[in-house]
Structure formats: C-alpha cells, structure tokens
Amino acid sequence: MSASPALLLAFLAVMLGLASSAVSLFADRQPRVLRLMAMPLVGLSGLAALTAGLLVLIQGGSFALTLPLGLPWLPWHLRLDALSGVFLAVIGLVTMAVGLYGPAYLRGFEQGRDSLVALGGFTGLFLVGMLLVVLADDAFLFMVAWELMSLASYFLVAFQHEQPANRRAAFLYLLMAHIGGLAILLGFGVLAAFGGGFDFDAMRAATLSPGWASVAFALAFLGFGMKAGLVPMHAWLPEAHPVAPSHISALMSGVMLKVAVYGFIRVVLDLNGEVQWFWGLVLLAVGSVSALMGVLFALMQTDLKRLLAYSSVENLGIIFIALGLALLFQAKDHVMLAALALVAALYHVINHALFKGLLFLGAGAILHSAHERDLEQMGGLLRRMPWTGYFFLIGCLSISALPPFNGFVSEWLTFQAALQAWQLDSGVLRSLIPIASAVLALTGALVAATFVKVYGVAFLGQARSRHVRRARAVPFGMRLGQGFLAVLCVLLGVLPTQVVHLIEPVSAQLLGTGIPQASANGWLWLTPISSDTASYSAPLSVFALTLIAGVAIWWFKRRTARRAKRCDPWDCGFAAPTPRMQYTATAFAQPVRRVFGLLFEIEEARTTGEDGLQRYRLRIADRLWGWLYTPVARGVESAARRVVRLQSGNVRVYLGWTLATLLVLLWIISGA
Amino acid sequence: MLSAWLIALLQALLCAALAPLLVGWVRKVKARLQNRRGAPVLQPYSDLRKLLYKETRVAHTASPLFRIAPYIVFVATWLAAATVPLIALDLPTAQIADIIVLVGLLALARFFLALAGMDVGTAFGGMGASREMMVSALAEPALLLAVFTLAMTAHSTSLASVMQHHLTDGFLLRPSYLFAFGALILVALAECGRIPVDNPATHLELTMIHEAMILEYTGRHLALMEWASQLKLLLYGVLVVNAFFPWGVAQDFGPLALGLGLVSVALKLGVLAVVLAVGETVLAKMRLFRVPAFLNLALLLGLLGLLSHVILEVGT
C-alpha cells in the first residue's frame, strides 16, 4: 500500500480525532483530561487536516486508497482530490482554532453536572464524521460518515439536556437531519442504479437521462439543503446551533454546514450527469430567499448566538446563489464564467467558516466571562475584554462584506460573475440574474445593519446589567483561538489573488478549466475576467488606507501636545444619561422591522402591570412555522393515527402483513 | 506610468481641497434663494480650520473606537472619492478599486460612523445609527443596481471604462440610463443626508440622522467627520455628472486636456449644486417613515434600469 503524504496526513487527522474521543472516556474520573488531552488532540487533528488539504491543493492530483473495512463486497474507498482538499482545509482551520480555544473554555464546564465524557467523546466523533464525509469515495462510507456527523452533533446539541428547550431543539434537529439523510440516500440510490455500483467512480461513469439526473439533483438538493439550512428547510438551525456549547456552535455553523455544501458540489457537479440550466435557477431562487430571510431574522434577534445562527442561513444562501450562477453558466457552456462563480462560492465557503467560527468563539467568550447571551443585557464590553472586542470587530467587518476584509472578496467575485449575465442568450435568464444580484446587494446592506447592531449594543456604550459590568478578559488560550481566525480573516481579505490561485484546481477538476486570468497580473491585482473588465487591488487599498490614516494621526500627534480631555457626554441639559437610556437591540432594529413587517409574524403588546409599571412585549415569529411546518406535522400525525389501526395486537394479522409484503417484493424482483 | 500616478495623487488632493468649496457654494446659492445674504463661499474652509485648532474633548464613557473612527471614516471616504475620475480618465486608481469597491469603501465609512454614534451610550447616537442603517440598507442596493446598469452596458465595473464607453458611444439615449440616473439621484440625496431625507442644517433632536451620530464629536475629530461628509457630497456629485455626462474629462495627460477637464467638472458641479439648492428650497423634509417609500422608488428604478438594459438593449 503506497499512499501519498497528503492522504497519510488526512488519515492521521482521522486517527487523532478518534484518539481525542477515546481519551475523553476517562473524563468522568479525571475531568482535566478533556482540556489537557482531548482538546489538544482535536487541534492537532485540525492541523493535520489543514496540511493535508493544502498539500493536495498545491501539489495537485488525486490520491485514492481502499481500506479493507465495511461490507465484504464493498470496502471503504477513500479519495483526496482538490475539492476534498479545500473542504479538508476549511475543517482544519476552524478545528485548530477550536483546539486552541477549547481548553480554557471547557474549564467552565468542569464544575457543572453535565457529562464531560459525552462532550469530549462526541466532539471527537463529530470531527471524525466530517473528515470522513469529505474523504469518502463511495456512497456507503459517505452515508456512514454523514450519519456519524449528524448523530454526534445531535448529542452535542442535547448536551445541556436538562432544559426542555434544548431537548426540543435537539429532537427537531435529529428529525430534520434524518429526513435530509433519507433524501441523500435516495439520491445516491438513483446514481448507483445507473452506475451499477456504490463507489463514486462507477457513478461518475454512468450516463443519466436528463429526467433521472434531475431527480438525483432534486434529492441531493433537498438532503444537503436541509443540512445547510436553506429556507424553507432552515427551522432546525436557529434552534440547534445556539444551544450547543460555543466551540461546538463554531464547528457546526462554521464547518458542518460547509460539509453539506461539499456533498452538494460532489454529487451535482462531479457525480451527476449533464447539468441542466433550470437547476441553477432553483438554486438562485432558494439562495436568494434564504439570504434575505436569513438576514432579516438575524436582525430581529436579541439572543447573540441565535442571531449568528440565522446569519448562517443568510451566508449559505449567498453560497448557493454563487453555486446557482455556476450551474447556469455551466449549462449554457460559459465554462470560464462557471469557474468564476464556483471559485466565488468556494471562497465564501472558506470565509464564512472563518468569520462565523470567530464570531461564535467571541459569543462563547462573552458567555464565559459575562454569562450572558442576551444582547439587551450587554454593553461596554470593548473596554472590559478588549482583545475579544477587537477580534469580534474584525469578524463583524468581515461578515458585513466590507473592504479590505475577506467577506468582501467573495461577494465581489459573485457580483462579477452575476454581471456577466449579458453573455447568456436567453432573455429570461438575463433578467433573473440581476434580480438575484439585487437581493444579494440588499442582503449585504442588511448584514451591515445587523452587525452594527450587534457590535454597537454588545461592545460599545455602557453595560446594561450588573454581571456584564463585572465581565473581564478571557484566558489566553481563548484569545489565541479567536486571534488565529481574525488574522486569517484579514489575510484572506488582503491577499485574494493567492487564495483564488489556491482554490482554482477545484474548478479545473470539476469544470475542466480554472480562472488563470484572475492572477495573470501578479499578486497585487485580482482581475477575474480581464483587467479592463474588473480589477481590485486589496493590498494597495490597504496600503493607501493605512498610509493616509497613519499620516493624519502622526500629524495631529505632533502638532497638539495636549491629549484630548475627558468630559461628560451631552445630556441636552437634563439629567445625566444612564445605561437604560441607550438604544436597545430591539429599538435599533425597529425601523427595519417596520419596513419589512409583512414578512414576519409580529405580536406587540403593551400592558400595565399591577405595580403600575408599563410592560412592553414583542414576539417575532417565522411565518413558515404556520405555513409549512405545523401543517406537515399535523398531516404526519393524522396519517399515523390511521396507520395505527394495523396495530391490533394479534400475531396472526402481523404475520399476514409480513407475508403479503414478502410476496409483493418477490413479485417486483421477479418482474425486474 | 509615473506621471499617471502623480496625476492620480493630484486628483485625490484636489478632491479633498474642493469638497468644502462645493458645500460652501450650495449653502451660498441656497441662502440667496431664500433671500438671505449667506456666509461667504469659503466659509467651510474657515470652519474646518477653526475645528482643527480647537481643543478636542472626548466623553468619559467613550471607548478607543470612538477616537479612531473619525480617521477611518475620513480615509475610507477619501479613498473612495479618489477612485472616481474627476478630471482625467485612465488613472491607476481606477485599477485599484472599481465601482463595487467604491460602494464597499463608503459602506466601511458608514459602519464606523454608526458604531461611533453608538459608542458613547446616549440615546441620540443610537437613534442616529439605527436610522442611518435603515436608510443605507435600502439606499446601498439601489446604488449598486444603478451602477450595475452602467457596468453591464460598458461590460466593465471600472468607472473609467464606463465613462470611456459612454464617450465613444456618443449621446445615445438609453432607457436604462434614464432609470439608473433617477435611482442615483435619489440615492445621492439619501446618502448625503440632504432634504427631503435628512436636513444637514438641523440640530432638532427628533429629526436628525447624520448629525445625531456625530453629536459627541469636537475639535479635530469633528473636523474630520465634517470633511468626510463634504467629500461624500463631492463624490456623489462627481459620480452623477461624470458617469452620465462625461464630456470634457481629460483623456490624455496634456496640460490643456487636464485644464479643460478641471473647468468642465467645475462647471458641471456648479450647475448640479444650483439644482440641489433649488430642490432643497422648494421641498420639505419627509417624515422618517416616508423615507423607505422614497428609497424603494430608488430601488425600483435601479432594478428597472437593469432589466430594461438586459431585455431591451443586449443583443440588439
């Protein structure tokens, strides 16, 4: 067995994840084992995965390996190619940050009653599941790894199971993960039936009729879209992500959703047959709705982690808009543009993993030090925990797609791809793509509003409660984990040309062409189509920004020896301002809530209590619950009530049903 | 190549130098329309000078972000303004940042402006920030759609290429340009905080947007914030006149062409300022919750421009 170093490293990453899981078994006797051994092993596993991914991206090629595990006639096939390389690197980056952050964060759980064995054990298994999904080269291993990932994360969501809300969230998650898993399984079934085998090579070689290819696409989209939290299949996401411990939330939002994107790309662009143009349209529509609804709901939230979870829905929407563009251009034979859109989607995949991981770790730091998730109680945290504050600011700037940070680059690339819509020959498509880009523009502006709200309310102003006033800086390890991701956010924003060059092999692998012109003008210039069409130089913008700001500050420092004096804020000549007079998160979002009111189910009430005090109550709900989820749940229940008549308690009746089923199955098999 | 960089630098400095003049001119015209004599046209320079030399005070409750924000707001706005071709095309600055980056830089400035408003922890700052973000949430997409129409027509997101395309195209009246022009005007009014969206002269607490965010600033910080907002007015003015009426802009770097470029852009901006002043004199400020309707109109115009371009103008 001769294996490449990249594949060996990936294998090592899996083994380290398993080892982390194994050592956690001793955590109930020796709680320290979790932070001294399990978390460092997780971090090392991340490092190995990152190195493996980078190696395969730089060296190129693809490495396959068959392990004598699994079913007797279907051993486990592993493969590491450019596509898995990118996602392996994404998993590795966030996992490394979690490995740095985890030990200090877990200290807070050591005195708790919750089982540390479960926490450490399932974290390792969760990681192993994600790594194996990305490495799998046959449907069987893929599904095993997928279920391992789903189940392990279910137990992590249900970790603090004493609160009924967490149990409900976990159950909803389990339910929807399995409906999605079923759809993926059926999708693989379609592909395997045509390919005559469960390994991906056979599926790739098969030729599907457009109809069956579309069926496989629909099933894959349903299954992976459910895991990715696209609207209207998003309901589990804002429930499940916030209730897990924060470093797990970072992994779930930052990485697990990306694994769903990986699965989708693998099935649709690699395994499935000829791409149909209307697939792209479906993706554009669903992506646009997800992006817009996601950000609007995020803006309405006051629970920080819930807000971040809704923002993940929005970001996955953006990724799927870019993927939709890629499919559209691919189906219409504009391969270069498809490659551009695919690179934009992958760039956003990496970016979202970085900044969402960073923001969740920041939310965890606040939770750790102020024991607060509610924005309405926060305030003034920048002065109490400055490092977390500045890292969080970088995360907010990145996610709001502001230059020169990383979120801007992927959004810019997506816009550039969308603006090439004039090359399409169909008038309908030409006019639908601009609408999607309008939605993307609206989303971008609303994201900025959301994160101004988050940062302004949580980190600026004055503390709104006593425990937040007592917050103080978090331990070094937690700062290190956040700092790692923050530095990467800046680097990926300032050096986009290198990153595009790094992820280009994926589009070369899947679509047959990269975008060589993007980096044709040297590392300073990013020119995705040609330097006349569009060019952006992040390094020079940063240089100009810092140069002018530096000169201005130096000039003022030199000229005025006096420091700025401190004084009281302006109080309009009335009483001095108190923290309660500040704008709250709800108040901040009120104008937008009024503008987009029709999209929400809003209950607003003002009552006067017995003590004569006015009370204001506001509940904002998702209309989709009433429109989609409750009717489906009722339908399932009433169907179950009908089926329950079969359960008579009489063994002879059961045997009769079994016989009838067998006969029907035999008839089907003999017919085929 | 070196001369191009030098002219780009010169143009950037010119932007910063001319921005107060434009504001002074608008105020002067407005005053004369209202039968007042008004302050001298050069008054904004004196104001900036005064503020730069005055003592700077910072509230007790302010964080370090409050003190760094004016620099970021000013620099980001200036960089954005420097990428717009003012007197000459084909400058290297246009390669550094295209229209989307320009919108992004303005968004960066706005982000820090809003954060600075929320930093001290008074009600006004938060109110201004919340309203500003609401206005921009609708104005920014409208702006992007308007510039996308131009970009799609020219097959380039570089503003210089857009103007070049327009110049070689001759005066061809495109329906999409009309829509985009309407959208851009509405967005410019909203983003620069002009009547009917916001009143730059007001300090009435309940109606102000921009002024509410910079209420706590004094001295050099205030000077930078004011200068940035003057730059923003200039930027939008140049965007309106040069993207839609690019005639006169220098296409080579000869002194004659550059001089002509400067005179033509000054004339165009002067006329635009008069139109703005007349508009501000005859219109009243809208209620805050009428503003979304105003901006939805801008968004709709932008979308119509883009759609009429891809449906009517592509491929014919």
The per-residue pLDDT for range A265-291, each reduced to its tens digit, is 999 999 987 899 999 999 999 999 999
Is residue A461 within 8 Å of residue A379, measured between CB atoms? yes
Alpha-carbon Rg for chain B, nearest whole angstrom, is 19
Residue B94 has pLDDT above 60, yes or no: yes
Asked if B215 reaches chain A (Cβ–Cβ under 8 Å), the answer is yes
For the segment A131-145, what is each residue's pLDDT rounded down to a tens digit? 999 999 999 999 999
Q: Which of B66, B93, B122, B152 to mutate to test the interface with A (most CBs of A within 10 A)?
A: B122
Q: Which of B73, B134, B209 to mutate to test the interface with A (most CBs of A within 10 A)?
A: B134
CA gap A136, A440 in Å, rounded: 33
A460 vs B55, B65, B157: nearest CB: B65
Q: Do A400 and B111 touch (CB under 8 A)?
A: yes
Q: How many Cβ atoms from other residues are within 10 Å of residue A22's Cβ?
A: 15
Average pLDDT of span B11-33: 94
Asked if B295 reaches chain A (Cβ–Cβ under 8 Å), the answer is no
How far is B33 from chain A, CA to nearest CA, in Å?
Answer: 33
Q: Residues of B with CB below 8 A from A534's CB?
A: 98, 100, 156-158
- From chain B residues 95-134, the ones with a CB under 8 A of any chain A CB are 95-98, 100-101, 104-105, 107-108, 110-111, 114-115, 117-127, 129-131, 133-134
In a domain, A562, yes or no: no
Amino acid in position A342: L
Average pLDDT of span A194-213: 90
Q: Do B64 and A581 touch (CB under 8 A)?
A: no
Q: Do A434 and B303 touch (CB under 8 A)?
A: yes
Cis previous bond, B196, omega within 30: yes
What confidence score (pLDDT) does residue A39 get? 94
What confidence score (pLDDT) does residue A1 get? 41
How far is A344 from chain B, CA to nearest CA, in Å?
Answer: 15
In a domain, A570, yes or no: no
Average pLDDT of span A212-216: 93
A570 vs B65, B122, B138: nearest CB: B122
Average pLDDT of span A106-135: 91
Checking B273-281 for CB contacts under 8 A at 24+ apart, the result is B273/B22, B273/B25, B273/B26, B273/B29, B273/B237, B274/B29, B276/B26, B276/B194, B277/B26, B277/B29, B277/B30, B277/B33, B278/B29, B278/B33, B279/B195, B280/B30, B280/B194, B280/B195, B281/B30, B281/B33, B281/B34
Average pLDDT of span B202-214: 81
Q: Do B156 and A531 touch (CB under 8 A)?
A: no
Complex-level ipTM: 0.95
Asked if B175 reaches chain A (Cβ–Cβ under 8 Å), the answer is no
Tallying the residues shown for chain A, one arrives at 672
In a domain, A460, yes or no: no
For the segment B230-283, what is each residue's pLDDT rounded down to a tens digit? 999 999 999 999 998 888 888 888 889 999 999 999 999 999 999 999 999 999
In a domain, A610, yes or no: yes
Average pLDDT of span A437-456: 95
CA gap A244, A118 in Å, rounded: 12
Q: Do A453 and B133 touch (CB under 8 A)?
A: yes
Average pLDDT of span A644-654: 86
In a domain, A246, yes or no: no
CA gap B183, B189 in Å, rounded: 10
Q: Please give the residue range of the domain that contains residue A613.
A: 596-672
> Helices then strands (H, E): number in chain B?
12, 1
Query: Helix or strand or coil: residue A405?
Result: coil
How far is A669 from chain B, CA to nearest CA, in Å?
Answer: 53
Q: Do B155 and A425 touch (CB under 8 A)?
A: no
Average pLDDT of span A408-419: 94
In a domain, A70, yes or no: no
- From chain B residues 190-209, the ones with a CB under 8 A of any chain A CB are 205
- Tell which residue, B311, B315, B136, B149, has the closest CA to residue B243: B149
- Tell which residue, A155, A169, A293, has the closest CA to residue A242: A169
How far is B160 from chain A, CA to nearest CA, in Å?
Answer: 10
Cβ contacts of B76 within 8 Å, gap of 6 or more: A545, B105, B106, B108, B109, B112
How far is A232 from chain B, CA to nearest CA, in Å?
Answer: 24
In a domain, A142, yes or no: no
Average pLDDT of span A374-384: 93
CA-based nearest residue in chain A for residue B205: A572
Q: Residues of B with CB below 8 A from A461's CB?
A: 61, 118-121, 126
A169: its two tokens: 């969230």
In a domain, A672, yes or no: yes
pLDDT grade for A659, boundaries at 50, 70 and 90: very high
pLDDT grade for B315, boundaries at 50, 70 and 90: low
What confidence score (pLDDT) does residue A343 get? 95
What confidence score (pLDDT) does residue A216 get? 94
Q: Do A382 and B65 touch (CB under 8 A)?
A: yes
Average pLDDT, chain A: 91
Q: Residues of A with CB below 8 A from B64's CB?
A: 382
When divided into structural domains, chain A yields a total of: 1
Is residue B208 within 8 Å of residue B199, measured between CB atoms? yes
Q: Residues of A with CB below 8 A from B57's CB?
A: 564-567
Is residue B44 within 8 Å of residue B24, measured between CB atoms? yes
A128: its two tokens: 């192993």
What confidence score (pLDDT) does residue A609 get? 80
Helix-strand-coil split of chain A, %, nearest 5: 75, 5, 20
Is residue A402 within 8 Å of residue B111, measured between CB atoms? yes
Is residue A350 within 8 Å of residue A435, measured between CB atoms? no
Average pLDDT of span B46-71: 92
How far is A298 from chain B, CA to nearest CA, in Å?
Answer: 14
Average pLDDT of span A539-544: 90
Residue A572 has pLDDT above 80, yes or no: no
Is residue A46 within 8 Å of residue A99, measured between CB atoms? yes
Q: Do B59 and A566 touch (CB under 8 A)?
A: yes
Q: Do A582 and B67 touch (CB under 8 A)?
A: no
